[in-house]
Amino acid sequence: MASQLYTARSVRAPLGISGDAVLVVDGVIAAIGDRSSLSGDGNTRDFDDAYLLPGMRDAHMHPVAYAAALRGTTLATANNFDEIVTRLRKAAGPGSKTAVLGMRLNEETLAERRLPTGDMLDAAVGDRPVMVHRYCGHVAIANSAAMQLAGITPETPDPPGGSIDRDENGRPTGVLRETAIELVSESLGQGNEVSRGELLDALGRLAAVGITSIGAILRTGHGAWASLGNEVDIAIAAAGELPIKMGAYTIEDTVAGVAGTKQRIDAAPQRLRWLGIKRFGDGSFGGHTAAMHEPFVDVPTTGTLRLTRFDTDIVREALALGGGAAVHAIGDLACESVVDMFGDLIGAGADPQKLRIEHASVLTSQDIERLAEYGILAAVQPAFLGSEAAWLIDRLGAERLERTYPFRTMERAGVALAGSSDCPVESPDPWVGMALARDRAGMVPAESLSAGSALAMYTSGAARALEEPTPLAVGSPADFVVVDRDPVEVGADQLRGTEVIATFVDGQEVQVDRSLPLWLD
C-alpha cells in the first residue's frame, strides 16, 4: 500500500479544525489528526505555512459552455452597441462562413440599457449568421442571416416554453427567449463545437482554484447551446483524462433516451458518473422569464412557466434508473410548482435525496418549510448576488427582494444547501462564491451565512448534491486542497484573494498551469 502524510498549519473542515495532518493510503484518507501521532512510512509532504481543506465542489455548472466562453467572444465588458459590433466583427475574421457566437452580453452594463436587435447585429458581419447569448443563457439575439437559416418569419409561432420578440408590425426583432433560442441554435451548423482538449483545459483551470468535483449539466446535442456540439459526447471523449470528477445531469429530448445516455456514461471511466436528468421550470430574472406569481415591477409580465407533464414523466424515468433530478426554478411560481411536483413524486415513493431544486431564488415561507420537510436539497448560486445587486430591486420590488436568495432562512429551516456557480453564467471561483454568501454584496444582509456555513455549502453540502462521501473524512477519497489562509478565520474580502497552493484528487496532485486565467471578461 502506498501511504503519504500531508501536514499543514491546520486541517480545516466546516465544523472545525481537526489537527494538522492527513494520512492518505492508496488514494483514500486513512487518518486525520496530529502529525506526532500519524506516520506516512517516511513519506511526508509539509505545507506548514498553509491550510488543508476539503476539495471545493461546484454543484451546478455547464463545463462545455465554460470551455466555449474561454475561447469565444465575450461581451461582458462591452459598454455600448458600437463596441458589440466591433467585437463581433473582429471575431468573424476574413474568409470564414462559420456562425459567429457572442457570449455573456449584459444589457444592464450597456449605455443603451436595452438588448440589441438582429438588425444591429447585421451591421457586424453582413450575411454571416450571428447569435449573441445574454449572460443568463435564457435570452439570445440572432441576426437576419441566422433567422433566415432557421426559417423564422413573421408567421412563425412562439414555441412552447419560449417566445420571439416582435416589433409593432409583428416582425421578429431577433430577440429570442427560452426555448425559442433552440429554433436558431440547432440550425447554425458546424464550426463552433467544443473539442475534448478545450474541455480538459477548462477543467484544469477549475482544479487550479481548488475545485475537485463538479455537477456537470450536459446536453445530448439539442437546445440553446446546440452549436457547441453534443456535450455528452464531448465529456465521454474526455472522460479518461479528467483532472477532476464530474457528476453529470443530462438534458434529454425524450424519456426513451435517458437509459441510453446513462448506459454510455456508465461505461466511461469512473471520474465521469451519471447522476440523473436536468429540467427547467422557468427562466431568469434578467430575461424577465422567471415565473412569478405577480408581474415584474419594470415589465408587465409574470415570466414563463416551462413545466409540463413531460417533466414529471422524465423525472420518473430517471428515478426508476437509479438516478435523480435537478430542476431549475427561479421565480416564486416556478419554485412552488417544482416543490409541488417533487411532493407528488415523494408521495408516490420517490427518494427525496434524489431530488434537487436548482437556484430556488424567490421562495415563500411555505415553500421553504416544504423543502425542509421533504428533505429536498437546494443548489444555490451566491455569485448571482454580485451580478444582480445593482438592479434586482428594480425587477422584483422591495417586498420580494427580502425573500430572494434567502440562504440563512433556508439554513435555519433545515434545508440542505449546495454551493455552485452556474458557470458560465458566473465565474466558477468558489472563494468569491463563499464571500458573497457571507456579505451578499450588501443585498439583504440578514440572509448572510456564517463563514463555516459558507464553507460547508461548497464542500459537504455540494458533496451531498453530487452523491459523494463526506469530504475530508476517514474512508473518503483523498480530494483536498491546500490554501494560504483559513477561510473561516478571514473576512469575506480577504477570502476573495485566496491562493490555492495545491489540489489533490484521489490522493494525486493535479498538475495545472496557474498562469492561465480562470475567467475572461
* pLDDT tens-digit map of 401-451: 999 999 999 999 999 999 999 999 999 999 999 999 999 999 999 999 999
What does the mean pLDDT of the chain come to?
93
Position 97 pLDDT exceeds 80: no
- Work out the average pLDDT over 11-37: 93
- 3-state DSSP of 417-478: EEECCCCCCCCCCHHHHHHHHHHHHHCCHHHCCCHHHHHHHHHHHHHHHCCCCCCCCCCCEC
Return the CATH number of the domain spanning residue range 73-185.
Answer: 3.10.310.70
Q: What confidence tier does 95 reach under pLDDT thresholds 50, 70, 90?
A: low
The CA angle 22-25-26, to the nearest 5 degrees, is 135
Please state, in angstroms and rounded to a whole number, the distance separating the CA atoms of residues 55 and 458: 9
5, 44 contact by CB (below 8 A) = yes
Q: pLDDT class for 161, splitting at 50, 70, 90?
A: confident
What average pLDDT score do residues 190-219 get? Answer: 95
The pLDDT value recorded for residue 1 is: 63
β-pairing, 377-380 with 355-359?
A: parallel
Q: What is the mean pLDDT of residues 121-126?
A: 81
The pTM score is 0.93
Across the range 318-325, mean pLDDT stands at 98
Q: Which three cell numbers stand for residue 346?
A: 415523494
**Mean pLDDT of the region 345-352:** 97
Mean pLDDT of 344-349: 98
**Is pLDDT of 325 > 70?**
yes
301, with CB counted inside 10 A (0-12, 13-18, 19+), is middle
Q: What percent of the chain has a predicted confidence (pLDDT) above 90? A: 75
404 by Cβ neighbours in 10 Å (0-12 / 13-18 / 19+) ranks as buried
Least confident of 81-85, 201-205, 445-449, 499-503: 81-85
Residues 133 and 425: beta-carbon distance below 8 Å: no
pLDDT at 375 over 90: yes
**pLDDT confidence tier of residue 185, bands split at 50, 70 and 90:** confident
What are the domain boundaries of the chain? 1-54+470-514, 73-185
Write down the pLDDT at residue 28.
Answer: 97
Q: How confident is the model at residue 137 (pLDDT cuts 50, 70, 90)?
A: confident
Q: What is the pLDDT of residue 223?
A: 67
Q: Could you report how far apart the first and last alpha carbons of the chain are, in Å?
A: 46
- The pLDDT confidence band at residue 341, using thresholds 50, 70 and 90, is very high
Q: What is the pLDDT of residue 40?
A: 64
In 10 A of CB 151, how many CB atoms? Answer: 10
Q: Class of 1-54+470-514 per CATH? A: mainly beta
